[in-house]
Amino acid sequence: MKKTLLMILSVWVGLLSAISLAPAALSQQVVQYQIAARLDPQAKAVVGSETLTWLNPSSDEVRELQFHLYLNAFKNEKSTFMRESGGQLRGDQAEEGKWGYIDVQSIKLDSGYDLKPSMKFLHPDDDNADDQTVMVATLPEPVRPNGTITLKIDFYSKLPRVFARTGYFGNFYMVGQWFPKIGVYESSGMRYATRGQWNCHQFHATSEFYADYGAYHVDLTVPSNYVVGATGVEQGNHPNKDGTTTHTFVQEDVHDFAWTADPTYIRMERLFDASRLTTAAEISDVARLVGRSPEDVSLQNVRMILLIHPEHAAQADRHFRALEYGLKYFGLWYGRYPYPTITVVDPAYKAGGAAGMEYPTLFTAGTGWLPSSPPSGLEEVVIHEFGHQYWYGMVGSNEFEESWLDEGFNTYSTSQVIDTAYGPSSLSIPFMGIPFSWFISSIKYFEDTVNRLETLGSTRRDYIVRNAWEYYDQTSYGVNSYPRTAATLRTLQHLVGDQTFARIMRTYFERWRFKHPTSNDFRAIVNEVAGRDMKWFFDQLVYSSNILDYAVDKVSSERPKLSLGLFDDPSGKRKEVTEDDRKKQEKEAADSKKRNDSLFESEVIVRRLGGVVVPVDVRVVFENGEQFDTTFDGQYRWTRYKFLKPTKIRYAEVDPEHRLLVDVNLANNSRTLETHHRAVVKWTSKFMFWIQNLLMSLMALV
Amino acid sequence: MTAWEIFCQGRYLANRTKKLWFLLWLMNALLAAVAALPVFGVLNAELKNSLMAASLADRFSLDFAGEFAFKYWDSLPSALILIAALGMVYVVLTLLTTGGTLAVFSCTERRFTAPVFFKGCGTYFWRFFRLLIVAAIFYGIFVVALNGVLSSLVNKLTRPWTQQRLVLLVSWTRLLVVAFVFIVVNMVFDYAKVRLVIDEGRSAVMAALRSIKFVFRNFKKTLAVFVFCMLLGLLFIVIYNPLEHVLPQHTRRWIIVVFVLQQLFILARTYVRLTFFSSEVLLYESLRPSHAPAQEAPAAVPTTFEAGSSPSSPSASWTPPPGEAPAIDPTI
Ligand SMILES: [Zn+2]
């Protein structure tokens, strides 16, 4: 053990000197983790020792250190995570008796000073004294501004049976949130901090993570028959005498480290060949769109590693293809993927709780034995989890406090990639594991539609931006953080224009990669790039629960009626217009010869039914093909348009280009003068036919 | 007689009772129309003046469907209650008409006449009602409970399994077993009804128990007749579905054509249900314990049957008239 440690130390020193010779790091290296961990398959545990060097990035003297002990969320039913989730996450039930926890066995400064006596648990988010997911240790002396401190921590991580991202199932191990991880020290003015303070939230059912960037050097010792994958690049591995092998992984400019091991993995590796997978035309098109040079936009090669279970081996191509699309489009649109590797992990069957989770340079996908035709959940998960390399991976927003900046931005980006790369998806509802899209061509849809529809139900309960654990419920967290954000960003894209929005997203990525932006930082970039103040948009659609609904309330076109009564002509003569005169006039107007000359008084009323006030395009189309386009500012609840034309209105429509994706009612966006019964009859008869069949089936039972 | 011969003759009998088809179709269509009426009202209010109607006439719109579901989500319970109430009315009507249907198929003329049909409706209603309660218990025990037990067994068995393929194979097997048991229970209660009509029994429980004996004693034949009828139903589905899929449905004319096609499909399902009953009546008559099996009593087989004339007596192996008789080949 001692020998191993010495060796690790020498590798670490070598690595540090290599780093100093290497090009400047992409991030401020606040943390340097050197971890040696050994998997104990019998105990389903990881025994680890961690040397952490922390750089105080602030101008404050820091007197205490705060750590996340995420695994303690699974320690018992009294943890905040378990209380909030009811023991459930993503539909997986936590198995009774399969708890997980992390024990900090020793925590010392490199001087040998023991911090353990000062160690205690904090619960900054709630009053749950039983929660042990945040730990604080008081230092004998403060860490000076820009000073560093090195700690040595021994820990024992008992893994839970997989149900919330991390754990084991059989011989499958997905090891995430597994080591004592230091929080983020935010100095006054950084993000929302008004004074220097630790940002170290408890682990909540709906929250994800937040951490500082740095370098990881991790030695993983596992039984030699296990196939291992981890964050970063595998620098080497060497067998030990006890039938285990130690794998060494290193990576800079990341804020987390996760790994996986399973003896049944099939390991495949392919190259993302940038020159083969992107054409010069594509690069110049994107360069023009985002306003950068083709060199800025061009991509670099990446080693793609897939760890897949034998049952899914036939789907390897689909995994790689989806990953290629992710690397390509995220890279072209926002900025190139800078790491040398990306590892896709296919979780074991029944370890679905570990599926669809992102870590730096490694993520878990998720498929079944019989997947639907592409693009299906398989592609969506691969692209989405890869997308997190950008949103939260490189642009390190605080997932605890502003989940829309990672999940929502990523849902938006994923949707764009899927629609661009694959076209519309097919609705597939599998029955007993069989995807019916194989047999019947089903309903096709674009991601915008799904994002919009998923948003309909829960808009009213919360604003988009909120602490992850403070949404009305888990559904509201999900809807607001994922599809509502995607639909809202798409609406913003339509309002500012595709090119401007592409530049907004690129600028946001370029400026905030390897940093910790807030919603305000994104808003500032929107204003800057769009060249106008979009506060109204954010106030109403991001920091509000109002709904957007415009409707055409009334459309009419009638011939003006002859007014009855006594009228004086210029000569002073008084003439009475009677009912008979009116009838005569109407008859004449109805006469086909004169029809073209007669005028119609037309009226359109547009209403704002929702609380969101957005300027909306209004289009009125007349029977002779004439078109009237205008904009209703929406300030008041309704507006009226009047026309006097020799033609009737055919229809009036608000938002004819469908730019306001978050409009909750599209059926009322238009109104025609003529009534249409075809669709009504068609779908009613279809419904009747379904009921008829239902009754026929009932007959067979009676 | 072979099961195929029974099935062919059953089809022939069902063919001859077009008034019955029409009656059963009308019953079905009217009830479904009651359910469809509120849907028509709501769709009409939503769409009659909306441009969305134009695109919806062409194709399904997920946008509209999702929006519609969201808007009327709160009305779903009332809609389901309405459908359940209609279902109950339909069950009562089916109890009535099944008596009439079986009376028609087992009467001397084996032809629809109003007196025979309506007398049958009235005579057997309460017996069938009692039988329905017994059937509900059987379905509850042998289908629902069995499914539950098998599910939990499968879950327990496959819990440590790490391959979805194996778990799915076991689940599919479970489904097949339950489907098979369902078919058997369904057959048992069909024959129990036939028995109540033909043997003029009164006890629903006895009818069910004897029917079990009958079905299992002649399992190959009862199952074969059932499977033939089921395949006939599948044939109509296989014909209808692709047709409905390829037909354009955006013009008024095509909407009417598809509506007619849908109603033809319901008529076809009615026909299949009638074929079930007629074949089961014929099979039961040919095999019932009190009568000698048809094959062993060639003397009882009348050779001809002329339309409009009555055979001298109901026979255990009634044969259609020459020329009208369907081709008979496979032997079960
Ligand atoms: Zn995500």
A108: tokens are: 């010392």
- Domain A24-257 and domain A550-564+596-674, same fold? Reply is yes
Least CA distance to B31: which residue of chain A?
A: A692
pLDDT in tens, A292-343: 999 999 999 999 999 999 999 999 999 999 999 999 999 999 999 999 999 9
Among residues A395, A390, A399, which one has the least CA distance to residue A511?
Answer: A395
Cα separation of A363 and A382, whole Å? 8
Domain for residue B296, yes or no?
no
- Residue A249: is it exposed, middle or buried by C-beta count within 10 angstroms (0-12/13-18/19+)? buried
Mean pLDDT for chain A overall: 91
Cα separation of A539 and A287, whole Å? 32
Three-class SS of residue A259?
A: strand
Domain for residue B323, yes or no?
no
DSSP A391: B
Separation of A482 CA from ligand 1 center, angstroms? 8
Cα separation of B134 and B127, whole Å? 11
Find out whether B134 and B204 touch, Cβ atoms under 8 Å: yes
- Spatial neighbors of B204 by CB under 8 A, at least 6 apart, are B127, B130, B131, B133, B134, B192, B196
The architecture that CATH gives domain A407-420+432-541 is Orthogonal Bundle (1.10)
Mean pLDDT for chain B overall: 85
* pLDDT for res A419: 95
Among residues A338, A451, A364, which one has the least CA distance to residue A404?
Answer: A451
Cα separation of A487 and A502, whole Å? 16
Among residues A214, A251, A245, which one has the least CA distance to residue A231?
Answer: A251
Beta-ladder partners of A509: none
User: Residue B56: its chain A contacts at CB < 8 A?
Assistant: 679, 682-683
Cα separation of A483 and A476, whole Å? 11
Among residues A194, A127, A179, A201, which one has the least CA distance to residue A399?
Answer: A201
Least CA distance to B254: which residue of chain A?
A: A682
- Name the residue with higher pLDDT: A443 or B236: B236
Find out whether B268 and B25 touch, Cβ atoms under 8 Å: no
Among residues A207, A184, A179, which one has the least CA distance to residue A36?
Answer: A179
pLDDT in tens, A261-274: 999 999 999 999 99
What percent of chain A is predicted at pLDDT more than 90?
A: 80
User: Residue A447: its chain B contacts at CB < 8 A?
Assistant: none
- Name the residue with higher pLDDT: A384 or B163: A384
pLDDT surpasses 80 at B303? no
pLDDT surpasses 50 at B312? no
Contact check, Cβ <8 Å, A666/B86 = no
Task: Determine the structural domain holding residue B276 and report its residue range.
Answer: 3-287
**Token pair 């769709």 is at which residue?**
B43
Residues 161-200 of B with CB under 8 A from A: 161-165, 167-168, 171-172, 175, 186
pLDDT surpasses 50 at B178? yes
Q: List Cα–Cα distances, B14 to A91, B190, B272, B275, in angstroms.
A: 50, 16, 8, 5
Tell me yes or no: is domain A24-257 CATH 3.40.640.10: no
The whole-number average pLDDT for the span B89-105 is 94
Element counts in chain A: helices (H) and strands (E):
17, 35
* pLDDT for res A127: 87
Q: List Cα–Cα distances, B112 to A325, A696, B26, B101, B267, in angstroms.
A: 67, 21, 16, 8, 17
Neighbour-count burial for A451-477, b at 16+ CB within 10 Å, e otherwise: bbbbbbbbbeebbbbbbbbebeebebb
- pLDDT-wise least confident of A78-87, A341-350, A546-555: A78-87
User: Residue A689: its chain B contacts at CB < 8 A?
Assistant: 32, 262, 265-266
Ordered by start, the domain boundaries in chain A are 24-257, 264-389, 407-420+432-541, 550-564+596-674
Superfamily for the A550-564+596-674 domain:
Immunoglobulins (2.60.40.10)
- Spatial neighbors of B159 by CB under 8 A, at least 6 apart, are none
What percent of chain A is predicted at pLDDT more than 70?
A: 93
* pLDDT for res B291: 47
User: Residue B270: its chain A contacts at CB < 8 A?
Assistant: 696
Residues 529-588 of A with CB under 8 A from B: 555
Among residues B99, B91, B115, which one has the least CA distance to residue B281?
Answer: B99
> Does A375 sit behind a cis peptide bond, omega within 30 degrees of 0 on the bond before it?
yes
pLDDT surpasses 80 at B306? no
A190: tokens are: 């950084």
Domain for residue B309, yes or no?
no
CB of B53 within 8 Å of any CB in chain A?
yes
Residues 94-133 of B with CB under 8 A from A: 94-95, 98, 128, 132
Domain for residue B165, yes or no?
yes
Find out whether A612 and A541 touch, Cβ atoms under 8 Å: yes
Q: List Cα–Cα distances, B124 to B27, B101, B119, B210, B281, in angstroms.
A: 19, 11, 9, 18, 15
For A702, the closest of B94, B168, B259 (CB atoms) is B94
User: Residue A678: its chain B contacts at CB < 8 A?
Assistant: 53, 57, 250-252, 255
- Start-to-end C-alpha separation, chain A: 75
User: How large is the angle between the packed helices B76-106 and B18-47, nearest 10 degrees?
Assistant: 170
Separation of A384 CA from ligand 1 center, angstroms? 6
Domain for residue B292, yes or no?
no
* pLDDT for res A434: 84
* pLDDT for res B293: 41
pLDDT surpasses 50 at A182? yes
Q: List Cα–Cα distances, A144 to A511, B23, B54, in angstroms.
A: 28, 92, 70
- The residue count of chain B comes to 332
φ, ψ (nearest 5 deg) of residue B17: -110, 55
| Continuous segment of H or E residues that includes residue A383 | helix A377-387
A to B CB pairs, distance under 8 Å: 188
Amino acid of residue A89: L
| CA of residue B211 relative to chain centroid, distance | 18
pLDDT in tens, B112-128: 899 999 999 999 999 99
**Token pair 């020498």 is at which residue?**
A10
Find out whether A632 and A530 touch, Cβ atoms under 8 Å: no
The whole-number average pLDDT for the span A352-377 is 92
Among residues A265, A95, A108, A244, which one has the least CA distance to residue A171?
Answer: A265
Domain for residue B293, yes or no?
no
Least CA distance to B163: which residue of chain A?
A: A349
The whole-number average pLDDT for the span A148-160 is 97
- pLDDT-wise least confident of A33-47, A406-420, B295-309: B295-309
- pLDDT-wise least confident of A70-74, A417-421, A545-549, A589-593: A589-593
- pLDDT-wise least confident of A432-446, A567-581, A633-647, B91-105: A432-446
* pLDDT for res B30: 96
pLDDT surpasses 50 at A6? no
Amino acid of residue A156: Y
Sheet holding A244-254, edge to edge: A101-109, A148-158, A45-55, A31-40, A214-223, A244-254, A233-239
Beta-ladder partners of A649: A622
Tally of structural domains, chain B = 1
For B62, the closest of A350, A445, A653 (CB atoms) is A445
Neighbour-count burial for A113-141, b at 16+ CB within 10 Å, e otherwise: eebeeeeebbbebeebeebbbbbbbebee
- pLDDT-wise least confident of A503-517, B17-31, B53-67: B53-67
Domain for residue B326, yes or no?
no
pLDDT in tens, B223-235: 999 999 999 999 9
User: Residue B91: its chain A contacts at CB < 8 A?
Assistant: 698, 702
pLDDT surpasses 70 at B27? yes
Confidence of residue B313 (pLDDT cuts 50, 70, 90): very low
Confidence of residue A89 (pLDDT cuts 50, 70, 90): low
